[in-house]
Structure 1
Amino acid sequence: MYRSCYIFWAIFVWFSITGGESKRQIVYNTIECSIKGKVFSKVDCQLYSRLAMNLAVTIGEQKADKMVVVCDVKFTYKDRQKITRIRNLNLEVCQMRKVTERRSVLGMYYNALRRSAVNFPKKCPFEKNTTLIVNRLHFGWQEIPQYLPDSNYSFVGKIYANKELGMELKLTGGYYDISNYSIYTKPLI
């Protein structure tokens, strides 16, 4: 009797925590990256799951004094044909270690990068022949404003090093309500 009661409560608690509540989440559909200059010698990007991605960038034969990611995002809302664009959102990779307390789009990107950066140096410049790895980059649902409407997005990030375009990263996906979280976290690799 005691064991069946325990199992019932365990299943009830599990369903009430995971199954009953949907959360808004950033979902990835496609990813594409390409080298655009001589700064980087190798680039590899792939989706780890529908909610996380991996990125590995190898710096070539010269130091990267300053690395800046310039982002352009286009949101297309599902319930109406309205399009919102965010242009020239600049992320300085050397400033990534700074902790931001305020909730903002920029802070959301920095927090996600800080969690996912594997072997980033403590200070700039980035040494030559170094591979920088971002492992399982994802955005937590707590960081994302939950009041935004469902939308599809396209993201283009251009990474500049030493004021020269080094690579381009393109993502497509959406911002959706997810009720079955486990389907989206399942590895694709």
Structure 2
Amino acid sequence: MKYSFWIYVFYIFECVRSEERNYRIVVQKITTSNVDNDIFEKVDVELFQINNRSYLDGSVVFKQPGSDMMVNSVLDFWRPNKQHMRVFDVRFSLCSFFEESHKNKFFNNYSKAIKKFATKEFKCPFEANVTYGVKKLYFDERDFPTFVPLGKFRSKFEYYLNEDVWATFSAQGQIISWN
């Protein structure tokens, strides 16, 4: 009896998870700035659209090994009525980001996407002269709640080493209606 109950619960959750979302996450622009050439050999980021989905290819090569990196991450959201909401503004260790699971659903989805589309495992300490990258990274709407409000967003990731900013990545986009 208990066994059939859990099969039923699993079936319900699987149907909800696979339910089509009525929105699409569209990334329209990605920029890099403050790239420290003493730390990076190479930083490449390319955004492209295929079949109404945003994809990202990106790679970095460090000049020296690194493990004491910190990240400040901010996500701002504007509803269609121009109401602004700061979704989060957090600072964390880059190494712990890849090594731990996250209570924050957004960070959990982001970490999962990076790991899924990585060309090499993101693991600390990061090695020098090794390409760490992602190919065709995208966010699957099924990993997010069934309801997400429509609007525009801006995310910013500032990477620090010894309290000095060594790279900034910003993304702008919107949540659009999708049927």
Q: Same fold (TM over 0.5)?
A: yes
1:1-189 aligned within 5 A: 23-37=22-36, 38-49=38-49, 50-60=53-63, 62-78=64-80, 80-90=81-91, 92-95=93-96, 96-99=98-101, 104-121=105-122, 123-161=123-161, 163-179=163-179
Residues in 2 aligned to 1:142 and 1:91: alpha-carbon distance in whole angstroms: 26
Q: Deviations over 1:129-161 (max 9, x none)?
A: 222102222111111223221010111111234
The CA distance in 1 between the partners of 2:171 and 2:90, in whole Å, is 15
1:81-133: CA deviations, max 9, x gaps? 21011343345443325455x67122121111111211125x42111122210
Contact 1:22 1:177 in 2 (8 A): no
Q: Is the 8 A contact 1:153 1:174 kept in 2?
A: yes
Structure 1 contact 76–83 (Cα < 8 Å) conserved: yes
Distance 2:69 2:121 in 1: 12
> Counterpart in 1 of 2:13?
none
- 1:12 is matched with none
Q: Secondary structure at the match of 1:148?
A: coil
Distance 1:28 1:108, change over 3 A: same
- Stretches of structure 1 lacking an aligned partner (at least 5 in a row): 1-20, 180-189
Alpha-carbon distance in 1 for matches of 2:69, 2:149: 32
Counterpart-to-counterpart distance in 1, 2:89 and 2:82: 23
| Structure 2 unaligned regions, length at least 5 | 1-19
Query: CA separation in 1, counterparts of 2:176 and 2:138?
Result: 14
Q: TM-score, normalised by structure 1?
A: 0.71
Q: C-alpha displacement at 1:41, in angstroms?
A: 2.4
Q: Which amino acid aligns with 2:138?
A: H
Letter in 2 for 1:105: F
Structure label with greater radius of gyration: 1
- Separation (CA, whole Å) in 1 of partners of 2:113 and 2:90: 15
State the SS of the aligned residue for 1:36.
coil
Conserved 8 A contact 2:67-2:95: no
Q: Percent identity of the aligned residues?
A: 23
TM-score (structure 2 length as normaliser)? 0.74
Whether contact under 8 Å (1:43, 1:58) holds in the other structure is: yes
2: distance between equivalents of 1:173 and 1:162?
31
Mapped partners of 2:23, 2:116: distance in 1: 20
* AA in 2 matched with 1:139: F
